């Protein structure tokens, strides 16, 4: 086998599937450096209903800050994390009531949307899609839009605001929201081979056998490569194959095929916490496979009323978020938010575990944005948003710090920084983005 001749994405071409290997050293010249935009990634992680900020905000700035209660689960990746205070998304304020839908619509667009429940929706292109227009040229899938809760984009979801605003954070244009996939099996098929939801039971069984044979082929091909790989490449290939097999086992437990379309809710027999972890596993594997370098993920839709009995919180999240300054509600909101941050920490940990050589992890080459549509669920403020950025975007950011910006510093400026770091030449974004943030 000659060096440079083996394509990562062509590795499984002979099996009729399009899988990619991790970034093995054998695929590049010994002293070659990655192209400027090779392995830059943009991910966005949305949580609904705001955050109880007193239990979120560090009391000191700089790199010596202490993680408050809600952020404590991030301790293992603290040095790969930026906590940003003072950022605001003022264009996302609604016309009258409707903060959840308007805030969610503007979550990645930083635009003031047209208040309507009809067909005349108008937003703007989202930050992730600006990134995808550039980074998508390097991957098979330009971007992935994923979430937990589905639902139609039609109708009124919040005080006269369309459900298109409340249930989507990725927008390809002013009038085109990009629906998210919520079924892990559908996401698997997007990444690793087609699946026809109209197929008969016999055809679905045949497809399952085929997917298994593809994995067998991967193992056979990996074994044939093994003797030609160096120690580092062998370890990375072993980790990659272990991840695929573990994920396949998880997916097999959810059924024989997709139980619903990507816009519908997940199967009822897939418990919510496990569903969330499954989606995060798929995101990490999509990154490891280099199937895409742009992902958006919604942990819930705008104004989510989900309860959390597994956390001993039986009331709906939206109801509790209108806390009325009651300590009992503060405690429940802190419990929910801490669990949400645990999921974010899980994803960052998965990315940190992906070794891309030379001591660099997938988290190091990524920028993973975490926030909510509002700051406080009772006041519905769009200022001083809860913002985290995981990763260093290939050395562009200097994580491990709490940075405080002047009040109402545009969130759009953070997005400009992320886009510029990913190689997108832009100095403006949204309704009020005027340039990159300082001190990142």
pLDDT tens digits, 257-309: 323 233 232 343 579 999 999 999 899 988 988 989 999 999 999 999 999 99
d(CA 111, CA 101): 12
Read off the pLDDT of residues 107-119 as tens digits, 9 standing for 90 and up: 999 999 999 999 8
The CA distance from 398 to 388, in Å, is 13
Strand intervals (E) in 282-365: 294-298
Q: What's the rounded Cα separation, in Å, for the pair 344 and 336?
A: 13
What tokens were used for 217? 């082929």
Average pLDDT of the segment spanning 51-71: 97
What mean pLDDT, rounded, does the chain reach? 84
Beta bridge partners of 146: 181, 297
- Say which residues have a Cβ less than 8 Å from residue 237's Cβ, sequence separation at least 6: 21, 22, 24, 222, 225, 226, 229
d(CA 202, CA 137): 37
**How far is 121 from 113, CA to CA, in rounded Å?**
8
List the one residue out of 119, 114, 120, 116 whose CA is nearest residue 156: 116
Residue 12 confidence (pLDDT) above 80:
no
Closest residue by Cα to residue 169 from 120, 127, 112 = 127
Would you say 208 and 255 are in contact if contact means Cβ atoms under 8 Å apart? no
217-226 contacts at long range (C-beta below 8 A, 24 or more positions apart)? 217/12, 217/14, 217/15, 218/12, 218/15, 218/19, 218/244, 221/11, 221/12, 225/1
| Four-point Cα dihedral 126, 129, 134, 139, nearest 10 | 160
Could you report the per-residue pLDDT of 302-335, keeping only the tens digit for each? 999 999 999 999 999 999 999 999 999 999 999 9
The share of the chain scoring above pLDDT 70, in percent, equals 75
DSSP 417: H
Average pLDDT over residues 162-190: 94
What are the structural domain ranges in the chain?
40-192+262-421, 196-257
pLDDT of residue 229: 75
The answer to whether residue 356 scores a pLDDT higher than 70 is: yes
- pLDDT surpasses 70 at 135: yes
- CA–CA separation, 345 and 72 (whole Å): 10
Q: Provide mean pLDDT across the span 354-370.
A: 94
The two most distant CA atoms of the chain are separated, in Å, by 68
Fold of 40-192+262-421: Alkaline Phosphatase, subunit A (3.40.720)
Provide the pLDDT for residue 1: 35
Q: What is the pLDDT of residue 186?
A: 85
pLDDT of residue 215: 58
Q: How many CB atoms lie within 10 A of CB 295?
A: 27
Residues 345, 73: contact at Cβ < 8 Å? yes
Give, in order, the Cα–Cα distances in Å from 145 to each of 22, 179, 298: 22, 7, 8
- Angle among Cα 251, 255, 259 to the nearest 5 degrees reads 105
| Higher local confidence (pLDDT), 206 or 169 | 169
Least confident window among 22-26, 85-89, 317-321: 22-26
In this structure, of 24-33, 326-335, 413-422, the range with the lowest mean pLDDT score is 24-33
- SS3 string, 229-269, reads CCHHHHHHHHHHHHHHHHHHHHHHHCCCCCCCCCCCCCCCC
Q: Does pLDDT of 199 surpass 50? A: yes
Residue 214's pLDDT band (cuts 50, 70, 90): low
Mean pLDDT calculated for residue range 14-21: 44
CA dist 144 → 129, 297, 329, 397, 401 (Å) = 10, 8, 35, 24, 29
Task: Provide Rg for the chain, Cα atoms.
Answer: 21
Tell me if the pTM is above 0.75: yes
pLDDT (tens digit per residue) in 216-245: 656 566 666 666 777 777 766 676 666 666
Residue with more model confidence, 81 or 214: 81
CA distance to 56, 89, 187, 410, 438, per residue, from 407 (Å): 17, 11, 39, 9, 14
What are the beta bridge partners of residue 390? 81, 368
Determine if residue 400 is left, alpha or beta; phi over 0 gives left, psi from -120 to 50 gives alpha, anything else beta. left
């Amino acid at each position: 086998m000659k060096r440079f001749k083996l394509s990562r994405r062509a590795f499984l071409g002979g099996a009729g599937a399009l899988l990619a290997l991790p970034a093995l050293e054998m695929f590049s010249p010994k002293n070659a450096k990655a192209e400027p935009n090779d392995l830059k990634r943009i991910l966005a992680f949305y949580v609904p209903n705001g955050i109880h900020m007193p239990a979120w905000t560090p009391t000191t700035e700089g790199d010596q800050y202490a993680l408050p209660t809600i952020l404590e689960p991030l301790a293992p990746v603290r040095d790969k994390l930026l906590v940003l205070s003072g950022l605001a998304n003022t264009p996302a304020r609604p016309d009258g009531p409707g903060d959840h839908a308007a805030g969610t619509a503007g979550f990645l667009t930083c635009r003031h949307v047209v208040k309507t429940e009809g067909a005349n929706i108008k937003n703007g292109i989202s930050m992730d899609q600006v990134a995808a227009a550039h980074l998508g040229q390097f991957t098979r899938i330009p971007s992935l839009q994923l979430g937990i809760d589905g639902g139609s984009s039609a109708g009124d979801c919040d005080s006269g605001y369309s459900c298109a605003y409340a249930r989507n954070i990725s927008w390809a244009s002013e009038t085109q929201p990009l629906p998210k996939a919520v079924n892990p099996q559908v996401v698997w098929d997007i990444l690793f081979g087609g699946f026809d939801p109209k197929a008969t039971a016999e055809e679905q069984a045949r497809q399952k056998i085929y997917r298994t044979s593809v994995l067998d082929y991967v193992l056979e091909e990996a074994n044939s490569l093994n003797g030609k790989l160096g120690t580092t490449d062998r370890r990375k290939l072993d980790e990659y194959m272990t991840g695929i097999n573990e994920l396949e086992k998880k997916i097999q437990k959810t059924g024989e095929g997709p139980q619903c379309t990507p816009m519908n809710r997940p199967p009822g027999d897939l418990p919510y916490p496990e569903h969330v972890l499954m989606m995060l596993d798929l995101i990490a594997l999509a990154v490891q496979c280099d199937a895409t370098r742009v992902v958006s993920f919604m942990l819930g839709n705008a104004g989510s009323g989900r309860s959390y009995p597994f956390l001993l919180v039986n009331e709906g999240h939206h109801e509790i978020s209108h806390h009325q300054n009651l300590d009992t509600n503060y405690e429940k909101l802190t419990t929910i938010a801490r669990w949400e941050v645990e999921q974010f920490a899980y994803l960052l940990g998965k990315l940190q575990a992906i070794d891309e050589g030379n001591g660099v992890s997938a988290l190091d080459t990524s920028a993973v944005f975490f926030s909510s549509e509002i700051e406080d669920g009772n006041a519905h403020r769009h200022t001083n948003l809860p913002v985290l950025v995981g990763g260093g975007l290939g050395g562009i950011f200097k994580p491990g710090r709490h940075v405080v910006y002047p009040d109402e510093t545009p969130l759009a400026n953070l997005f400009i920084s992320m886009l510029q770091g990913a190689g997108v030449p832009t100095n403006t974004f949204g309704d009020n983005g005027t340039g990159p943030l300082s001190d990142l």
